[in-house]
Amino acid sequence: MNTLVRDFYRTEGKEEGLFSSALFLTVDQQSWEEASAKCSRLPRGWFELCHLPAEDRIEFVRDFWLNLLPYHPSFHLFLEDFFRKIEDITVVLTQSQKQGPWSVEMVYSLKDNRSFFRGLPPCNESAIDELKSRVATPFPRDYLAFLRIHNGFGKLSELGLLSVDRVVDAKQRLMDQYLDAERPLRAGNVSIDPCALIPFYESYGLGSYQCFFNEWYPGNEMGNVYLSGIDYTISDYADRKRWADHFAFPTFLDWLSFYLEGNSID
């Protein structure tokens, strides 16, 4: 794993850190009984994965992504290239405080110390069904498929791609913020109903989100746009040629490709 990962999870020799304890299951010898007793949310498949060589772990997880996500030729080619840039995939058990509960993350370590990504355990079907019932809008199939890979995902220290429980909370915060705002929410010169937005990614510290927009269907699925908490605007999606410039994406997988390439909309 690259040095960025080691430093992020290091618990000794740092004045302050996110974790009081961190166990890499690919390095720290743990039985299933020991590991699952620490963290009941640890998937058995993740534990078994840690007993494979690094190259097999990468191949196994890559194939899992490819098999689970809806087929799209350009995205699947991109994903093949993305996984070629990965140096290692590991599973980490962490405690934020001594005697506190343990959490589990899958870590994607990129070559050349470029970056790393972190994913939480997959979402179960009951949680997905609850999300659908609480947000009465059909979610894109590719987004729901990704939830079955990671229910919460991000780059470096931030898990910006929201878990399903945080999607509902973020939507409520968004509505509370914009329904009573003095300034209308706009896309170009057009006023936007904030109720039509469903946030799924949060830019921390900015009050900004990437959102599904249930009034925009550029293809077979609902598109997504960037909501700026600074200037009360969403992406101007009127000009197809400038969608990417305005962080407007016709599918969730288009946005995910943008994110995995290391781009930022913050």
Query: What phi, psi does 198 have (nearest 5°)?
Result: -125, 105
Which residues are CB-contacts of 25 (< 8 A; sequence separation ≥ 6)?
Answer: 35, 46, 47, 50, 90, 91, 92, 93
Query: What phi, psi does 111 have (nearest 5°)?
Result: -65, 160
Beta bridge partners of 240: none
132 and 175 Cβ atoms separated by less than 8 Å: no
Residue 62 burial by Cβ neighbours in a 10 Å radius (0-12, 13-18, 19+): middle
Beta bridge partners of 107: 90, 118
User: Angle at CA 162, nearest 5°, toward 159 and 166?
Assistant: 120
Per-residue pLDDT of the chain (266 residues; tens, 9 = 90+): 788 998 898 887 565 667 889 999 998 888 999 999 999 999 999 999 999 999 999 999 999 999 999 998 899 999 999 999 999 999 999 998 888 899 999 999 999 888 999 999 999 999 999 998 888 888 999 999 999 999 999 999 899 999 999 999 999 888 887 777 677 888 888 888 888 999 999 987 678 899 999 999 998 899 999 998 888 889 988 888 888 888 999 999 999 999 999 766 55
pTM comes to: 0.92
**Which strand ranges, in their side-by-side order, compose the sheet holding 158-161?**
21-24, 86-95, 102-110, 116-119, 153-155, 158-161, 197-203, 208-213, 224-228, 233-234, 186-187, 190-191
140 — alpha (psi -120 to 50), left (phi > 0) or beta? beta
The token duo for 68 is 């689970």
Q: Smallest Cα–Cα separation from 251: which of 223, 214, 225?
A: 223
The token duo for 241 is 């040629």
| SS3 of residue 8 by DSSP | helix
